[in-house]
Structure 1
Amino acid sequence: MTAIAMIQALKNTDSHLGLFLRQDRAAESKFLAYCEMYQKIAAYMEYFRAAGVAAGSRVLFPFETTEGVIIAFFALVGLGAIPLSVKPYSMGVVKESYLEFLTKVTTQYQAEFVLEAPSIRSLELSLQRLQLPDTDIQPQESANFATITDTDIAFVQFSFGSTSFPKGIPVTHGKIVAQMQAIANHAQNRPSDATASWLPLYHDMGLVGGLLTTLYLRHNLHLSTPMHFLMNPVEWLSELSEKKIAIAVIPDFAISYCLRRLAITDPEEIANLNLTQLRMVFNGSEPINIDKLHQFLEVLAPYGLQATAIKPCYGMAEAVLMISCCKLEEVPRIVTLANGCKAISVGQALSTFDIRLRTEDGLLCHEGEVGEVELRGGTLVDNYFESERPFYNCDGFFPTGDLGVISEGELFVTGRLNDRFKINGQSYFASDFEHAIESLPFVQPSKVATIQADDRIIILIETKQASVLQQLIDHQRQVSEIVLNQLGIKIPVDNILFIRPGQLEKTSSGKLRRIAIAQAYITGKIMLAKNARNGC
């Protein structure tokens, strides 16, 4: 089976099944039945074919969560073209940097067109623009699909690493279908299931886990944008309740973000919240904050959220998406590592993957021993797109750069290889420090970074709260104490810096680029928050 077969299957889907799309600033969702979506895809295909797009055409694709762009994606796949899925231009993004990024992707991957998504219409680009058709384009009953095989490339997604330029990952038709089927099998989907996602579509978890798998199953999908969630996370919870959502996909920071908003929400506002239908919440993309997860379950248990609902999972773009996930009816296990920190299970690897761990010395790890996660088989791609860089090691395994332990057959991811600190003979991870510090009421989720510079552990906290800066020493001491109490490590208050917002550089998927942050600190480019007198 190919992704084209998935598109063709939409044609005969019942008219009450489809996409409920809520775009930024929209008061209500717009419903698009899958059978109507098929007709629009067919019309877009003819429109793009007339514009010169053919099988194999490479199209730079700023993947916005808008109806026209979503239809365009499926139309290009149907033509056998290759969408290069990238982050769209958005508020807060430096225009020059974005243009430089697009130029580099265009050059490196030989793009022929750029989809003129709404966000880039004002940008000056040298590529041939592929305009979206008018919104009133006449739907078509049938389409002339490309003849492709399961080894042909469906689209290219990118691994937005924290240390290098994004690497293109060619996702073949066979790999994407196998991955969607694996996710569906793991979730034990039921015909009446509805899914909700607000993750961006240029990210593997939003595209594969949210959009594609749901369309593959032809279940109702309630799709919105990250901005919609960030503006009102409590409303998102209410929508899960009202729409009787069974499956959702989230990054871990969403849990801390919801908790902060729930803490200041009038109980009357959520009195009718009912989350009993929510059976599986795929929680991935970043390290799991165990304390916040438990708090989230405790706070929402009176509203029907089951302890088994939140499912930590492990995946990456190189594997198309999911590699492992906790079982449906199980509460994730927690183990205590040698350094005293806790780690949560992300389940057993899917049956088609081989997984092993190796120590720094290259030896295979014993049960419970920390090592680098290496993978083989499953939906791992064969290589990076247009790259001669070796993908597999000499044993035929892919070194992920992630560290973890295996206990009773389950994987526990502990951090990234480049985010590990050796202190007093023990390994600690940046996320251990960050999760501890985020438990403080004056620290916002994803606004803290731990780096190592000149053999010192430095903690950088973004803030613009006057109350924090006016009592700086006291808040520095609170940070030092929470790290000491939870990790047993003493951080001098002079190494705890409150900095101006917007300086903690992140990848497009929201992960901290700690090497870039450390370099900015070392070169004196990190600016303290106003009134903060702790020097860099």
Structure 2
Amino acid sequence: MADAAATIVTTPTRDALPRIMSDFATLGAALDYAATGARGLNFHDARGNPLRAYTFAELQSDACAMARRLMGRGVVKGDRIALIAETGAEFATLFFGCIYAGAWPVPLPLPTSFGGRDSYVDQLQVQLDSSDPKMLFYPAELAAMAGAAAEAKGVEGHAWEDAAEWAVKDSPLPETVSDDIAYLQYSSGSTRFPHGVAVTHRALLSNLAAHSHGMEVRETDRCVSWLPWYHDMGLVGCLLSPVANQVSTDYLKTEDFARRPLAWLDLISRNEGTTLSYSPTFGYDICARRISSQTHAEDRFDLSRWRVAGNGADMIRPDVMQAFVDAFEPAGFKASAFLPSYGLAEATLAVSIMPPGEGIVVELVEETELSGKDEAVGRPQRYRAVVNCGKPVRDMLVEVRDEDGGILPERAIGKMFAKGASIMTGYFRDPEATEACLSGGWLDTGDMGYLSDGYVYIVGRAKDMIIINGKNHWPQDIEWAVEQLPGFKSGDIAAFAITTPGGEETPAVLVQCRTTDDAERSRLREDIKERVRSITGMNCVVELVPPRTLPRTSSGKLSRAKARNQYLSGEIQPYAMAA
């Protein structure tokens, strides 16, 4: 394998093609331009060895041929084509083949380690119901599961290889304009009641231009990514943006990162041009944890060229970011490289981005401000560190509103609204859901936060709020409190509100527990109750559950709503209390 990899020359970081920052009418036009240069996409094995260099020129040629194959099979403009989003040349070819054919690619998730075959097939069926595609494409190894979902919904199911055998239809490609839909993006929380975000070419290119200017993309930039292509940060930020901004990019599969997270940093170190790479907080967390006290990061890694270490997609944890700096500063990593951001699929991707070089900036917010209530008499003041998520990107407006829709002043916490050229036109075939979050071009993001000196601060999801005795509590605060106990990490804890048999609202905390000793479990329950009481002043129900029990969204984030539903329905079975 190593000898074969040594013969593969990855695409160059620089070439002679003048860079155009996403200033195109359509995504197809962006790829047409990128194809006139030498840059492209590079796919690597689990150890970071190159498997395939795929130039933008090859991608463009293959995608045009694929478009004509799809048209030969009866695909017409506006048809949806569902694609299991495995990181590789096959997905990229089919995605852009759909773009050239005027069809709408619909990236769908790979199976995760959470749940089994049946839950994955169910998830695909729900999303196939929602998107109503003509075809579903999948890797051959997923034929049993994806094929079953397609068959159940009357959708044509095909392995990647099938399309390569189809005849090319010798006819002109359809005309595409900026206001045509480019693709459907399912947001990560849309597992059971999916919302397919319809993204136009205009919205996409506007957002790509905004965030490439916001990151100050340079001629010398190169990207490394392990992010999944069914999530907006992976698809838009790390596949479509490199095409529209002509950036050579190196990929690890998401499952390979999960098994060998430090291969991400190896790949950044090995490629002298790498300057851009993004991750949610948990990616930085797992890397910092994998470096043992016996390992000298400077002996293995060179992270000195990493200019933009982007962070987004979940709550940004300053303690995790500091742990990453502590672990990798000896290898040349600069804390100023951190680039927090805030975004969501309904805004195509980015709403706000930290100006490069400013790093992690934290404000301490007193918990009574977070809860919206007057300070409790006799209680010591407690603070939460809230991370600055940057300034609204170009052509994006952000407002903070109260429950009645009134605009709040700076530093007042309320519901976040955004308006701009890259805000979605609506959810696919779901006018009620669209009307519930869009009005007058303003998007209700569903997030709570505030503005300070023009910067955006996010404090949590409005729907996750726990309200006890009229006071608001953020589940993150409870979860973070438990995580400070030895043996727990981010993702082990889910906090939410339940109603007791007596009719009272109370917080419940599900904690993934690895010990099998009954006495140790009893001690843990008491320690957790005491920790939550000391931080929040609340008594809570503590349930210990087996490892890998807590449900995740398709992008790997904890789903508190699903955890609550599964707990109340009995699907999640806690460990029994010792007699």
Q: CA deviation digits over 1:490-531, x for unaligned, max 9?
A: 545xx22220133322221223332232233234432224xx
Q: Give the corresponding residue for 1:213.
A: 241
Is the contact between residue 304 and residue 333 of structure 2 (CA under 8 Å) also seen in structure 1?
A: yes
Instruction: Choose from 558, 562, 576 the match for 1:512.
Output: 558
Matches within 5 A, 1:480-491: 480-483=529-532, 487-491=535-539
Q: Give the corresponding residue for 1:109.
A: 131
Q: Give the corresponding residue for 2:9.
A: none
Measure the CA separation in 2 of the matches of 1:441 and 1:225: 31
Is the contact between residue 289 and residue 435 of structure 1 (CA under 8 Å) also seen in structure 2?
A: no
Matched, 1:448 2:515: no
The residue identity in structure 1 corresponding to 2:477 is D
Instruction: Choose from 63, 86, 98 the match for 2:85.
Output: 63
Q: Give the corresponding residue for 2:406.
A: 363
Is the contact between residue 242 and residue 249 of structure 2 (CA under 8 Å) also seen in structure 1?
A: yes
Q: CA deviation digits over 1:445-488, x for unaligned, max 9?
A: 31211111122112111133447x65223333443454456x34
Report the CA distance shift for 1:427/1:341 in structure 2 as closer, same or farther (over 3 A).
Answer: farther
Q: Give the corresponding residue for 2:577.
A: 533
Q: Give the corresponding residue for 1:277.
A: 305
Report the CA distance shift for 1:496/1:299 in structure 2 as closer, same or farther (over 3 A).
Answer: same
Is the contact between residue 114 and residue 551 of structure 2 (CA under 8 Å) also seen in structure 1?
A: no
Report the CA distance shift for 1:43/1:163 in structure 2 as closer, same or farther (over 3 A).
Answer: closer
Measure the CA separation in 2 of the matches of 1:458 and 1:408: 37
Matches within 5 A, 1:168-207: 168-207=196-235
Measure the CA separation in 2 of the matches of 1:81 and 1:396: 26
Which stretches in structure 1 are left out of the alignment for 5+ residues? none
Which stretches in structure 2 are left out of the alignment for 5+ residues? 1-24, 368-382, 500-504
Q: CA deviation digits over 1:2-53, x for unaligned, max 9?
A: 1011121233212xx2211125688643222222222222332232222222
Report the CA distance shift for 1:139/1:267 in structure 2 as closer, same or farther (over 3 A).
Answer: farther
1:507 partner SS: coil
Measure the CA separation in 2 of the matches of 1:473 and 1:97: 32
The residue identity in structure 1 corresponding to 2:577 is R
Q: Give the corresponding residue for 1:246.
A: 275
Report the CA distance shift for 1:311/1:25 in structure 2 as closer, same or farther (over 3 A).
Answer: closer
The residue identity in structure 1 corresponding to 2:250 is H
The residue identity in structure 2 corresponding to 1:460 is L
1:337 partner SS: strand
Is the contact between residue 88 and residue 119 of structure 1 (CA under 8 Å) also seen in structure 2?
A: no
| Deviation at residue 149 of structure 1 after TM alignment | 0.2
1:503 partner SS: coil
| Deviation at residue 203 of structure 1 after TM alignment | 0.5
Is the contact between residue 304 and residue 334 of structure 2 (CA under 8 Å) also seen in structure 1?
A: yes
2:336 partner SS: coil
1:517 partner SS: helix
The residue identity in structure 2 corresponding to 1:463 is C
Q: Give the corresponding residue for 1:397.
A: 442
Is the contact between residue 348 and residue 424 of structure 2 (CA under 8 Å) also seen in structure 1?
A: yes
The residue identity in structure 1 corresponding to 2:551 is E
The residue identity in structure 1 corresponding to 2:460 is G
Instruction: Choose from 296, 317, 331 the match for 1:303.
Output: 331
Measure the CA separation in 1 of the matches of 2:184 and 2:69: 22
Q: Give the corresponding residue for 1:343.
A: 386
2:193 partner SS: coil
Q: Give the corresponding residue for 1:86.
A: 108
Q: Give the corresponding residue for 1:498.
A: 544
Measure the CA separation in 2 of the matches of 1:32 and 1:198: 17
Report the CA distance shift for 1:488/1:108 in structure 2 as closer, same or farther (over 3 A).
Answer: closer
Matched, 1:167 2:215: no
Measure the CA separation in 2 of the matches of 1:147 and 1:204: 26
> TM-score of the superposition, structure 2-length normalised?
0.84
2:487 partner SS: coil
Report the CA distance shift for 1:470/1:304 in structure 2 as closer, same or farther (over 3 A).
Answer: farther
Measure the CA separation in 1 of the matches of 2:572 and 2:558: 15
Is the contact between residue 47 and residue 133 of structure 1 (CA under 8 Å) also seen in structure 2?
A: no
Report the CA distance shift for 1:154/1:143 in structure 2 as closer, same or farther (over 3 A).
Answer: farther
| Deviation at residue 85 of structure 1 after TM alignment | 1.8
Instruction: Choose from 451, 475, 492 the match for 1:406.
Output: 451
Instruction: Choose from 24, 30, 40 the match for 2:52.
Output: 30
1:175 partner SS: helix
Q: After the TM superposition, which of the residue ranges 150-159 and 112-121 deviates more from structure 2?
A: 112-121
2:333 partner SS: coil
Measure the CA separation in 2 of the matches of 1:269 and 1:370: 40
Measure the CA separation in 2 of the matches of 1:154 and 1:3: 8
Q: CA deviation digits over 1:175-223, x for unaligned, max 9?
A: 1111111121111111221101111101000000111111222222111
Q: After the TM superposition, which of the residue ranges 150-159 and 119-128 deviates more from structure 2?
A: 119-128
1:274 partner SS: coil
The residue identity in structure 1 corresponding to 2:94 is A
The residue identity in structure 1 corresponding to 2:443 is F
Q: Give the corresponding residue for 2:521.
A: 472
Measure the CA separation in 1 of the matches of 2:278 and 2:187: 19
Q: CA deviation digits over 1:150-193, x for unaligned, max 9?
A: 00011100123368512011111111111111121111111221
| Deviation at residue 307 of structure 1 after TM alignment | 1.5
Is the contact between residue 87 and residue 508 of structure 1 (CA under 8 Å) also seen in structure 2?
A: yes
| Deviation at residue 332 of structure 1 after TM alignment | 3.0
Report the CA distance shift for 1:10/1:133 in structure 2 as closer, same or farther (over 3 A).
Answer: farther
Measure the CA separation in 2 of the matches of 1:362 and 1:408: 21
Measure the CA separation in 2 of the matches of 1:172 and 1:119: 32
Is the contact between residue 23 and residue 65 of structure 1 (CA under 8 Å) also seen in structure 2?
A: no
**Alignment RMSD:** 2.8
Report the CA distance shift for 1:269/1:303 in structure 2 as closer, same or farther (over 3 A).
Answer: closer
| Deviation at residue 374 of structure 1 after TM alignment | 1.0
Matched, 1:5 2:34: no
The residue identity in structure 2 corresponding to 1:350 is V
> TM-score of the superposition, structure 1-length normalised?
0.90
| Deviation at residue 416 of structure 1 after TM alignment | 0.6
Q: CA deviation digits over 1:210-269, x for unaligned, max 9?
A: 11111222222111122111112222222211123211111111122122211x363246
Q: CA deviation digits over 1:35-91, x for unaligned, max 9?
A: 222222233223222222232221122211122122111111111111122113456
2:95 partner SS: helix
Identity of paired residues, percent?
25
Measure the CA separation in 2 of the matches of 1:103 and 1:197: 29
Measure the CA separation in 1 of the matches of 2:569 and 2:161: 48
Is the contact between residue 382 and residue 391 of structure 1 (CA under 8 Å) also seen in structure 2?
A: no
| Deviation at residue 143 of structure 1 after TM alignment | 9.4
Q: After the TM superposition, which of the residue ranges 451-460 and 512-521 deviates more from structure 2?
A: 512-521
Is the contact between residue 58 and residue 81 of structure 1 (CA under 8 Å) also seen in structure 2?
A: yes
The residue identity in structure 1 corresponding to 2:309 is V
| Deviation at residue 356 of structure 1 after TM alignment | 0.9
Measure the CA separation in 2 of the matches of 1:425 and 1:391: 25
Q: After the TM superposition, which of the residue ranges 289-298 and 166-175 deviates more from structure 2?
A: 289-298
